[in-house]
Structure 1
């Protein structure tokens, strides 16, 4: 598996949505929003995305990524 950090939150969200990991409806809605919204994430959104990536065993966001 490619362990390169995700350069954008959109790519990270799409990877999570395409994974075999199950998410709550709230998390799925959050990931769907990130997949289509190019606006910068808030600190709280970035923290939640980091947690979802970690729990799913996927690489983290790249330092300085969107």
Structure 2
């Protein structure tokens, strides 16, 4: 696990909170920002997974 995984998880959590808040308050803009943040978090996690795969491949 590296920094990308941690940053990705944090961004995904932030997005979930924004999305839920947007849904509860009826704020479509905040809800959309939350969904975008969640996607950004997923992308960071994927980048972390790729880094891990490269590290593992170069060690073996």
TM range (shorter): 0.3 to 0.5
- Greater RCO (CA < 8 Å, at least 6 residues apart): 1
- TM-score after normalising by structure 1: 0.35
